[in-house]
Amino acid sequence: MINESVLLESKSLRDSVLERTDVLDRVKALSLLPDGMHVTTAMVAAYFGVTIEVVRQLKTRHQEELFCNGVVTLRGSDLAEFKRDILSRFPGGYPQPRSSLTLYSRRAVLNVAMLLRDSDIARQVRTYLLDMEYLSRTRPVENTAPAQLAAPDDLDTRIDRRITQILGKTVVPMFNALIETSGEHRRELIELREDIQNVERKLCWHHRRISTLEGDTPTDQVRASIAAMTWQAFERHVADLLRRDGCMDVVVRQARSDRGIDITGRTADGRSVAVQCKNRAGAGRSSIPSADMQKFAGAARAVDHVDVALFVATCNFSHEAQVIADLSGVITVNRDELDAWTAGVHLKALR
């Protein structure tokens, strides 16, 4: 088992587990501001049981890494807007900053946990992270290769796809709503929702297995369906996939003056999401150029400071575009990954 202190020294290891923000609430409940997404420096200090000055010094030493993972400092009109729209909802409940306010996303708080040496809570978070990573790497993997599966004795026992639709469009959204409004039982609800989503994934897999045995080609069917969509329909399709994977407050902008952001929303654990959609199936282009990636990365990271930036395309990405995505933290979803996502595989970045 790897010692928890290794996270203090290895940025690559820290980057590999930054999506596991659920660990924070498993160790200790993290109180959020009324926007449901951020905490202040004082709230970070209270969570880890350290002084505000310790957090400020940590932010100064690791400024670049923390800002890449969701730390933002509001000033001027941005601060005034945040105070009016968020802090004013609870007058007296939160301090009213005068000149600036530093906010931490849940991802940034997890980043702090992996950098903060002198905090028992931070050490517990690091240990929990590495324990979960160890379990995920050593757990036996279910062999789902269709070629190694025997044909079912009776194809009349096929899975009814309506069950999957009920789970994805009714049960999971119900859990999302309960999670958003619950406090005391939030952790248990998240675990129950994950169980339901595991059932949904297995049902989708069984349906694809039977389709393959009967001579259908699910990937071709999915790709043909997406190719027939207008750009508006494609954006709505991606929005539905986000909701299926547990995202809340999903909004499709469907406007051309959006600075490259087509869809916004929040993950179940409160991270902000921005999505750029490109349906290039009928445009005659084989890849997404670097200019498109630069525009979206600038809007998502420099302007809106979102936690999860997704670029979803019906084609592949050019080498230059992928390099920009990797440097700016944009998660790319290419043609093959989109096919799998559409067919029922849940997107790792949203977990």
Question: Above 50 in pLDDT, residue 153?
Answer: no
**Mean pLDDT calculated for residue range 32-48:** 88
Cα distance between residue 66 and residue 108, in whole Å: 6
pLDDT-wise least confident of 52-56, 98-102, 162-166 = 162-166
Tell me, what's the pLDDT at 5? 72
* Coil, strand or helix at 303: helix
In the predicted model, what is the mean pLDDT of residues 42-50? 94
**Nearest residue to 116 (alpha-carbon basis) of 188, 175, 44:** 44
Average pLDDT of the residues in 25-31: 86
For the ranges 8-22, 187-201, 231-245, 266-280, which has the lowest average pLDDT? 187-201
pTM for the structure as a whole: 0.43
Report how far residue 250's alpha carbon sits from residue 147's, in angstroms, rounded to the nearest whole number. 38
* CATH match of 228-350 with 3.30.300.180: no
Number of Cβ within a 10 Å radius of residue 120: 11
Q: Which secondary-structure segment (H or E) carries 120?
A: helix 120-138
Q: Please report the pLDDT score of residue 283 as a whole number.
A: 47
| 3-class state of residue 275 by DSSP | strand
Lowest mean pLDDT among 56-60, 128-132, 282-286, 303-307: 282-286
d(CA 309, CA 249): 16
- Cα 228 to chain center, whole Å? 27
CA atoms of 68 and 108, how far apart (whole Å): 8
| Cβ-based neighbours of 269, under 8 Å, separated by 6 or more | 21, 22, 106, 190
One-letter amino acid of 154: D
- Select the more confidently predicted residue: 208 or 103: 103
Question: Beta partners for 272?
Answer: 266
What does the pLDDT read at residue 98? 79
Q: How confident is the model at residue 217 (pLDDT cuts 50, 70, 90)?
A: very low
pLDDT band at residue 238, thresholds of 50, 70 and 90?
Answer: very high
**What's the token pair of residue 144?**
């789902």
Q: pLDDT band at 58, cuts 50/70/90?
A: very high
| C-alpha to C-alpha distance for 303 and 146, rounded to whole angstroms | 45
Find the radius of gyration of the CA atoms of the chain.
22
Average pLDDT over residues 328-333: 91
Q: What value does the mean pLDDT of the chain take?
A: 76
pLDDT band at 258 (very low <50, low <70, confident <90, very high): low
Q: State residue 200 phi and psi, 5-degree precision.
A: -60, -45
pLDDT class of 142 with cuts at 50, 70, 90 = very low
Higher local confidence (pLDDT), 339 or 277:
277
Domain ranges of the chain: 6-135, 143-216, 228-350
Percent of the chain with pLDDT over 70: 67
pLDDT confidence bin for 226, thresholds 50/70/90: confident
Q: Does pLDDT of 22 surpass 80? A: yes
Question: Which of the pair, 236 or 147, is modelled with greater confidence?
Answer: 236
Q: How confident is the model at residue 26 (pLDDT cuts 50, 70, 90)?
A: confident
**pLDDT reported for residue 156:** 38
What pLDDT digit, counting tens, does each position of 303-321 carry?
A: 668 889 999 999 999 988 9
